[in-house]
C-alpha cells in the first residue's frame, strides 16, 4: 500500500511588491479583476476599473502603503513569511507559501510541492472565516492550476477555522495581554473585514462565521454583552455592505460615554494595510476626533507562538 507524501500550502491574500503606484496598480488589477471579488459584467466593470479605479486608487494606496512599509517589506508579506518559516520548522513535511494575488503566486507554490513528489496536499488558507470572496477565490485558482496537470494529489482544503478552540484561545490570549498592558477598556470592538450585503443574500455565510467567532471569544473572555461589540470594516464601492460599519460606530461611541476602546480585527491573520493604516491610523483619528480619549489597537496574531501552534494543530489533524 502506497504511503502518502504530504505537503502543506499556506495561503494568504497577497500584497503589492512595493509601495509604489506601479506595483500597487499591478496588484489591484489582478485583485479587482477576480469575479469572486467584483462580480459586475466585464463590459461594465472593465472601463470603470481601468479608467477610474486603478488610476485613482493606485496613487492613494501607494501613499498609504508607504506609511506602514517595514524595512523587510510589506507587513503582510513579512508576517506571512515568518509564519511559513515557523510552520516549516515545526512540521517534518514540505511547506510552501502562496498568495492568491501577487507574489509568490499559487502556481509557483504548487509547482514546488509537486516537484517534491507529494501525493496528499493540505491547503491552509489564512482566512479564519469563510467567504466566497476570499476562500472560494483560492479554491478557484487551485483548480485552475491543477487543470493543466496529468496527475494531481489528493487534496484536503480547509474551508475555515472560525470556531477552532486553538484559534479562539490565541485571540483570547492576545486580548488578555492587551488588557494587562493598557487596562480593561469601556468596550472591546471586534472589527471584521466586510463584504457586500448582496453576497450574503446570495448565500455567503461569512457574517455567521464572524458571529460564531465573536460569541466564542466573548464567552472565553467572560465579557458582558455591553463590554464587547462586533463591527465590519473596509467597505469598498457604493452598494450596501454588512453592518454595523466600524467607522460609523467609532463616531457614535464617545457621545454615548464610551471614551476608552480597544479594537481587534479577528479576520486578519497578519497585520496589513487594513489593520495598520485603516484601523490603527484612520479609525483612531475618527474616534479621538469624535471625542474619544483612549484608543488601543490589538495586533493581529501574526507569528505569535499561539498562532503558529494553532496552524500546526490544524495541519496535523489532517495528516
Annotated binding site: 193, 274
Report DSSP state, residue 194.
P
Cell 473572555 -> residue: 221
The predicted structure's pLDDT at residue 134 = 98
The whole-angstrom separation of Cα 258 and Cα 256 is 6
In this prediction, residues 34-61 reach a mean pLDDT of 96
In this prediction, residues 58-70 reach a mean pLDDT of 98
CATH architecture of 165-298: 3-Layer(aba) Sandwich (3.40)
Three cell numbers, residue 79: 508576517
The predicted structure's pLDDT at residue 56 = 94
Reply yes or no on whether the pLDDT at 72 is more than 80: yes
The string of pLDDT tens digits covering residues 222-271 is 999 999 999 999 998 889 999 999 999 999 999 999 999 999 999 999 99
The whole-angstrom separation of Cα 27 and Cα 102 is 6
DSSP per residue, 5-63: PEEEEEEE----SSSSHHHHHHHHHHHHT-TTT--S-HHHHHHHIIIIIHHHHHHHHHH
3-class DSSP state of 257? coil
DSSP per residue, 233-244: E---SSS-BSSS
3-class DSSP state of 281? helix
User: Is 219 in contact with 213 (CB distance < 8 Å)?
Assistant: no
Reply yes or no on whether the pLDDT at 313 is more than 70: yes
Closest CA to 109 of 97, 127, 120, 119: 97
Residue 68 has, within 13 A of its CA and on its CB side, a CA count of: 23
In this prediction, residues 137-159 reach a mean pLDDT of 96
Three cell numbers, residue 58: 493606485
The whole-angstrom separation of Cα 28 and Cα 48 is 13
The predicted structure's pLDDT at residue 163 = 98
The whole-angstrom separation of Cα 278 and Cα 230 is 17
Average pLDDT, the chain: 97
The predicted structure's pLDDT at residue 319 = 86
Closest CA to 314 of 85, 160, 112, 99: 160
Reply yes or no on whether the pLDDT at 93 is more than 70: yes
Q: How far is CA 61 from the centre of its chain?
A: 18
Give Cβ neighbours of residue 76 (< 8 Å, ≥ 6 apart): 12, 13, 14, 15, 270, 271, 272, 273
Annotated binding site for Fe(2+): 193, 274
Q: What percent of the chain has pLDDT above 70?
A: 99
Specify the fold of 6-161+306-316.
Rossmann fold (3.40.50)
Reply yes or no on whether the pLDDT at 1 is more than 70: no
Reply yes or no on whether the pLDDT at 2 is more than 70: no
pTM of the model: 0.96
Phi and psi at residue 239, to the nearest 5°: -75, 160
Reply yes or no on whether the pLDDT at 212 is more than 80: yes
Range list for CATH 3.40.50.1400 in the chain: 6-161+306-316, 165-298
Sign, CA torsion 41/46/52/56: positive
The string of pLDDT tens digits covering residues 151-204 is 999 999 999 999 999 999 999 999 999 999 999 999 999 999 999 999 999 999
The whole-angstrom separation of Cα 129 and Cα 12 is 13
Three cell numbers, residue 275: 489593520
The predicted structure's pLDDT at residue 4 = 87
DSSP per residue, 54-93: HHHHHHHHHHHHHHH-BTTB-HHHHHHHHHHHHHHHH-SS
The whole-angstrom separation of Cα 32 and Cα 13 is 12
The whole-angstrom separation of Cα 215 and Cα 221 is 10
Amino acid at each position: 500500500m502506497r504511503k502518502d507524501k504530504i505537503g502543506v500550502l499556506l495561503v494568504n491574500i497577497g500584497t503589492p511588491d512595493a509601495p509604489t503606484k506601479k506595483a500597487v496598480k499591478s496588484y489591484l488589477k489582478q485583485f479587482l479583476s477576480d469575479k469572486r471579488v467584483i462580480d459586475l459584467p466585464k463590459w461594465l466593470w472593465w472601463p470603470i476599473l481601468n479608467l477610474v479605479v486603478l488610476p485613482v486608487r493606485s496613487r492613494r494606496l501607494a501613499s498609504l502603503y508607504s506609511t506602514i512599509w517595514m524595512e523587510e517589506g510589506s507587513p503582510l508579506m513579512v508576517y506571512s513569511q515568518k509564519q511559513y518559516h515557523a510552520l516549516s520548522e515545526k512540521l517534518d513535511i514540505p511547506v510552501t507559501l502562496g498568495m492568491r494575488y501577487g507574489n509568490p503566486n499559487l502556481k509557483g507554490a504548487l509547482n514546488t510541492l509537486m516537484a517534491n513528489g507529494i501525493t496528499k496536499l493540505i491547503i491552509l488558507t489564512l482566512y479564519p472565516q469563510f467567504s466566497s470572496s476570499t476562500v472560494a477565490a483560492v479554491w478557484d485558482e487551485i483548480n485552475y492550476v491543477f487543470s493543466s496537470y496529468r496527475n494531481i494529489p489528493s487534496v484536503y482544503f480547509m474551508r475555515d477555522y472560525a470556531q477552532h478552540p486553538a484559534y479562539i484561545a490565541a485571540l483570547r490570549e492576545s486580548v488578555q495581554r492587551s488588557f494587562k498592558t493598557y487596562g480593561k477598556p469601556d468596550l472591546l470592538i471586534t472589527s471584521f473585514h466586510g463584504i457586500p450585503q448582496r453576497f450574503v443574500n446570495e448565500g455567503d455565510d461569512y457574517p455567521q462565521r464572524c458571529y460564531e467567532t465573536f460569541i466564542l471569544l466573548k464567552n472565553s473572555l467572560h465579557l458582558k454583552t455591553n463590554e464587547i461589540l462586533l463591527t465590519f470594516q473596509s467597505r469598498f464601492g457604493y452598494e450596501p455592505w454588512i453592518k454595523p460599519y466600524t467607522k460609523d460606530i467609532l463616531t457614535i461611541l464617545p457621545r454615548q460615554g464610551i471614551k476608552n476602546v480597544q479594537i481587534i480585527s479577528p479576520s486578519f491573520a497578519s497585520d496589513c494595510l487594513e489593520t495598520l493604516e485603516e484601523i490603527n491610523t484612520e479609525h483612531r483619528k475618527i474616534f479621538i476626533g469624535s471625542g474619544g480619549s483612549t484608543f488601543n489597537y490589538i495586533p493581529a496574531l501574526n507569528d505569535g507562538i499561539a498562532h503558529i501552534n494553532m496552524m500546526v494543530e490544524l495541519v496535523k489533524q489532517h495528516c
